[in-house]
Amino acid sequence: MTVAPKVLLVGDFPPPHGGVAVHVEVLQRAVRSRGGECTVLDIGKGQLPADGVVQAGGYATFTARLLGHALRGYRIHVHTSGANRKSWALAAICAAAGKLARVPPLITFHSGLGPGWLAEDPARARVACAVGNAFGRVVAVSEDIGEALLTCGVARARIEVLPAFTHSFLQPGTPPAGFRELREEAAPLYCAMLAPGPVYGAEVLLRAFAEVHQRNPRARLALYGPGTLELEPIRSAGAAACALRAFGELHRPAALALIAGSDVFVRPTLADGDSVSVREAVALGRVVVATSVGTRPVAARLVPPGDAAALARALTEAADRRPVLRLARDGDKDPSGDCVHRLLTLYGFHSGEEPAPEAPEAPSRPPVEGTACAASAAS
């Protein structure tokens, strides 16, 4: 009799609905859909009750819960940024706990800031080498992150580059209140996901959009994500402020509906790993304009980071293309390149393929405005 795999995902869980948290939530759903056991040890900012989610709590509580699952044979898969000391301390603790589980632990590094942080100090590289080689598999969401880990001395055989995106559960829901009115008056409608911190490029985006709006008064910009309701630059955007609409934190189905209903998706980040939202927009058939940082799909139109004039030109040119919403068909999907298919195999399932649900599940938590976690810089 085959025993279903047991997986402990250590990472952020929505809210906030950043790329890392969304990835962890989808992995939990995928494992459960295959009959496996999956618990999330939530180290994020949300820390709200949800089915199959355990709050990390303080250091003592976190360690006790981590070791408890390891002793019960759960395979540990930790999701972290790799761009600060706290991230690597978390990785070291999870690697040690993995030895108790008697199944090789996994780690995924998400942040595009990680390679630069590791390169700043040789001591960091030595830590990365020791900790990385303690995992059975080290997943990097981009080639740059993978190369940085290799340079630090992590064994090539352990490293696997795997974007944190899957077509599974890619199901737009109902758009947020006020979106339909915005859609009716917009020609075109741009959309962007932002969060607190300069890495998301909010100021550059708003300067670029102000230029676009000056040339085309019907242009509109929909913003969503943690902190967007209080985003300071919006209040000082001048004449373009009337053309902006912030929707705040959204559950993933609503966020996908907002992306799907827009004409152009914008990713103005100054650093990135491999953006989940960019890949979602491409999969939904949207035109994408993104900065040339991290890993981008070939369908994205790229501009230099921090260049508002170049971004404005690209946004204007991209608006000429307004494709009909086209969800990726089964024939378009490459199972070998799908992170969920691959990770399910690494967890111990005989086949990574799993059925997507017929309808999206109801959100397990209410949206909450809050500060994005360190690992969410790669969202």
278 near 265, Cβ under 8 Å? yes
Q: What is the pLDDT of residue 238?
A: 62
CA gap 226, 369 in Å, rounded: 5
CA dist 27 to 159, 203, 333, Å? 19, 33, 18
pTM for the full predicted model: 0.80
Q: How many contiguous H segments (helices) and E segments (strands) does the chain have?
A: 13, 13
In a 13 Å sphere around the CA of 304, the CA atoms on its Cβ side amount to 5
Domains in the chain, start-ordered, CATH in brackets? Answer: 6-169+333-378 (3.40.50.2000), 179-318 (3.40.50.2000)
Q: Which residues lie below 8 Å from residue 68, measured CB to CB, with a gap of 6+? A: none
322 near 221, Cβ under 8 Å? no
Q: What is the pLDDT of residue 194?
A: 92
Q: Which residues sit opposite 192 in a β-bridge?
A: 223, 266
Q: What is the pLDDT of residue 372?
A: 36
264: left (phi over 0), alpha (psi -120 to 50) or beta: beta
Q: What is the pLDDT of residue 363?
A: 41
Q: What is the pLDDT of residue 232?
A: 63
Closest listed residue to residue 136, CA positions, set 101, 167, 166: 101
194 near 225, Cβ under 8 Å? yes
CA gap 186, 189 in Å, rounded: 5
CA dist 222 to 87, 192, 262, Å? 32, 6, 8
CA gap 303, 307 in Å, rounded: 8
Q: What is the pLDDT of residue 337?
A: 52
CA dist 315 to 94, 186, 212, 300, 353, Å? 43, 14, 7, 12, 37
Q: What is the pLDDT of residue 63?
A: 96
Block means of pLDDT (10 residues each) for the chain, 379 residues, are 87 85 92 95 84 92 96 97 97 96 95 95 97 97 95 97 86 94 95 92 93 94 89 62 90 93 96 90 93 91 96 93 51 56 92 46 40 35
> What does DSSP assign to residue 3?
P
Exposed e or buried b per residue across 324-340, where buried means at least 16 C-beta atoms within 10 angstroms of its C-beta: eeeeeeeeebeeeebbb
> What does DSSP assign to residue 133?
T
- Geometric angle at alpha carbon 247, from 241 and 252, rounded to 5°: 145
Q: What is the pLDDT of residue 319?
A: 87
CA gap 109, 81 in Å, rounded: 5
119 near 152, Cβ under 8 Å? no
